[in-house]
Amino acid sequence: MPAINVNPTRMELTRLKGRLKTARRGHKLLKDKRDELMKQFLDVVRENRALRAKVEEALMRAHGSFTVASALMSTEMLEQSLMYPKQSVDLTMSFQNIMSVNVPEYHFKTKNEDQGDIYPYGFAATSGALDDAVDALAGVFQDMLRLAEVEKTSQLLAEEIEKTRRRVNALEYVKIPQMEEAIQYITMKLDENERANTIRLMKVKDMLLKEAIEERREEDARATRTFGPSGKAPREV
């Protein structure tokens, strides 16, 4: 018996063949989608690795400069210098469709048109190392946003790849074999029924032939009794 319950009829066989054809076409499309997602995912991972190295290097420079500034300036002066930021940022998010996966895209715009005016303090009482730290953070901000975008994209693509892989495996190792088994079962049952019907018809034909032979023999016997062996009617005396 197949894994799925089916009626061994020609209509069910036709329906299953249609489903099998659709499943095979869907399996091919899903495999193509999985392969393309893997290609996109590998490209994103390579970009992610390069961006992370760049961002980490810039943050290390900013941290080093900030450490020097902390050593040269008092804590109160450092906190007061950075208390009121000079620039404000508007961050917007849109989506890009990659193989039916909506991945985010981040865009930012500074409210102050002069993007070089990023220092929220005067230069008289501050250290040049603090300028370097602020400048390094301002320079890496775009890359940090891109890194966040790429990491989220890689996460979403990985989830979609896993979903697609499960669907491909379900079709390849479960659904398609079950339908093939059911089609084979129905075909076998229909062949058995056809053979049984053929045998039944042959038996009926043999019975009808025997009955016809018996009737012919009875007719011949009656004719022999009536007309004799010569085939002529006996004379009256």
Instruction: Assign residue 33 the CATH number of its domain.
Output: 1.10.287.3240
Look at residue 232 and tell me if it is in a domain: no
Structural domain that includes position 38: 18-173
Beta-ladder partners of 101 = 98
Please state the φ and ψ torsions of residue 234, each to the nearest 5 degrees.
-65, 145
234 DSSP 8-state letter: P
Which tens digits make up the pLDDT trace of 44-75? 999 999 999 999 999 998 889 888 888 887 77
Look at residue 228 and tell me if it is in a domain: no
Which tens digits make up the pLDDT trace of 140-171? 888 998 999 999 999 999 999 999 999 999 99
Structural domains of the chain, count: 1
Put simply, whether the predicted model's pTM sits higher than 0.85 gets the answer: no
User: What are the b/e assignments for 114-125, b being 16+ CB within 10 Å?
Assistant: eeeebbebeeee
